[in-house]
Each structure stands twice: as structure tokens, then as C-alpha cells.
Amino acid sequence: MTLPPTQAIFSAWVAWMQEEKQYAANTVSAYIKDGRSFIDFFVHYQGGEQEISWEALTPQDIRAWLAHRLQAGGCARSNARALSALRTFYGFLRKRFQVTTNVFLLIRKPKTPKLLPHPLEHQVLEMLLSEEIGLAHEPPWMLKRDRALYVFLYATGVRISEALGVTGKILQASGTISLVGKGNKERLVPLLPMVLQKMREYAEACPYALEPDKAFFLNLHGRPLGASHVRGRLHRLRTSFGLPSYTTPHAFRHSFATHLLAEGADLRTVQELLGHASLASTQIYVDVADQKILEVYRKAHPLEKPSRGE
């Protein structure tokens, strides 16, 4: 089968990820970046030839691309993600264009260090969930909106994209709300009374009408609040109030899982609450909780403290 031009294949792959596979927007964006990196490299690698012979690529070609990424300032973790992106691309080529080879399966993923998530300390959470800190010269209703969002993120453990997908129907909720998460999977999320209280306080202060079928969290101009805007606001709070560098929207999710496990919640329940498909994804929070226990133990045990004669 004769393959279409490279750019046409690339566009079809992007549409396939978005429409048929319904990958998360962040995943699609990262895979597009990695796919373009691959194509740009090979156009140069082949002396300017625009078309790539996908079935003729060799492991040596792929290793040359990965080495180039490292020389350009990349790391093992970004190379691992890039390999995942191109394996997905080859899966698309096999299904759509009957390309039978997948050279990327012959390349081992680079070993990456295990990075434990950083939950926020309780004192930082108390600051963020109260109305003690805020950005200067802003309408008071935006402070109430931020507090409602932060309380919602920490109390439910949802992803920022899931939280910003909530509509005005949440004001009619009682004990749970239905959310569509990663992989287009729907799940029930429990709502604590405090969450609903903060939501109502924000709704009463908001100068815009919060309609049941439209976005609940709005920006200054009454349009749906974006994830990048939330990240930017937290960055400004970090700078202004000396908060930890890992004070991000996702840190609320890390804190939710770690604190639940520290208080005795079982792993399977936390998995369901987080919407993880695999228990292994949730297991990392046990490692965080165990590490915290060891830190407290080492600081508190008399044998770890210097003797008075020293």
C-alpha cells in the first residue's frame, strides 16, 4: 500500500488521537510536539528529503534521534515519553495503512529515576484554602472562586481538567457529582459539605450568571477558566508568599491521595477516588506516605538525636 505524504499522515494521526481514541488534550499536545520533533530531525537527517520511508527505519535511526534530543538538552524522561508517542504513531500506521513493522518496539525505554509526588504541607494547604492570601488589586469574587476551586481539588483529588469541566449543575448537587475523566471514563466523586459551601459562596459573589450547562469556574471576563491560568495564578502566589515550588494544581491531587492513605484509607478505595485504571498508579502514594513516616521517625527517635555530652 502506498502511503500518503508525511504531513497528511501526521494530520490524520492527530485527528485519530483526538476523535477516535479521545486522548486527553495534554497527551495529544505532548505527542504532537514529539512527533514533530521526530519528523523535523529526519528531514534534516535525510539531507532535506521531506518524505520518510516509515517501513525502512532502523533502530540505529531511532537511537540517532534520541541522542540528538539529549544533546539538545533533553533528558531520559522526555525521551521515554517521546518513544511512547512514536509507538502510538506506529500503532496508527498499522491500523490505518497496514504498516507491519514497528521499529520503536525494538528500542528499550530509557531508565528514568522514580520521582515521588510532592504533597503540600498542611500549613500550606491551610493558607491556600483560607482567605489569608490572595493576589493584589483583584475583585473579591475572584478570591472566593480560587478558594472554591482549591477546596474542590483537595477534597476530591480530581485533575485540574476535570475540575474546570464542572458546570453550574454542581450547585444542585448533594453528596456526589458525576465527572468524565481521563480516557473519557465517568465516575462519581463525593462532595463534602465544605466544598458545597465554598461553591455557593463563590456563586453568590460572582458577577456573572452561572448556568447549569455551562462552565462553573469563570475568568475575569466571564469566560471559562483555563488550566494554564490556574497554574499562572499559583505561580504568582508562590512568588509572593514563598510557597514551595511544587505548589501546582496537581499538588492538590497528590495531597488528597497521600493524606488519605496516611489516615488509614485503603489503597483500592483511593484508586477508585482518583480514577486510576491501574492499582500500580496509586501505589506510588503509599511510597510517599512511608517516606514521611520514616522522616518523622528519624526526627523523633532519641537514638537519632545527638547526645547531650556531644
- Which of 81, 159, 233, 254 is labelled catalytic? 159
- Which of 200, 229, 276, 292 is labelled catalytic? 276
What string of DSSP letters covers the chain?
Answer: -PPPPHHHHHHHHHHIIIIIS---HHHHHHHHHHHHHHHHHHHHHTTT-----GGG--HHHHHHHHHHHHHTT--HHHHHHHHHHHHHHHHHHHHHH-----GGGGSPPPP---PPP-PPPHHHHHHHHTTS---TT--HHHHHHHHHHHHHHHHH---HHHHHT-BGGGGG-SSEEEEE-GGG-EEEEE--HHHHHHHHHHHHH-SS---TTSBSSB-TTSSBPPHHHHHHHHHHHHHHHT--TT-SHHHHHHHHHHHHHHTT--HHHHHHHHT-SSHHHHHHHHHHHHHHHHHHHHHH-GGGSPPTT-
Among 158, 191, 153, residue whose Cα is nearest residue 274: 158
Tell me the longest C-alpha to C-alpha distance in the chain.
Answer: 82
- Which of 33, 68, 109, 250 is labelled catalytic? 250
- Which of 145, 147, 253, 254 is labelled catalytic? 253
Is 182 one of the annotated active-site residues of the chain?
yes
Is 253 one of the annotated active-site residues of the chain?
yes
Is 276 one of the annotated active-site residues of the chain?
yes
Is 285 one of the annotated active-site residues of the chain?
yes
- Which of 87, 109, 169, 182 is labelled catalytic? 182
- Which of 23, 154, 202, 285 is labelled catalytic? 285
Burial tier of 1 (Cβ tally within 10 Å: 0-12, 13-18, 19+): exposed
Tell me the one-letter amino acid at 196: L
- Give the catalytic positions in this structure: 159, 182, 250, 253, 276, 285
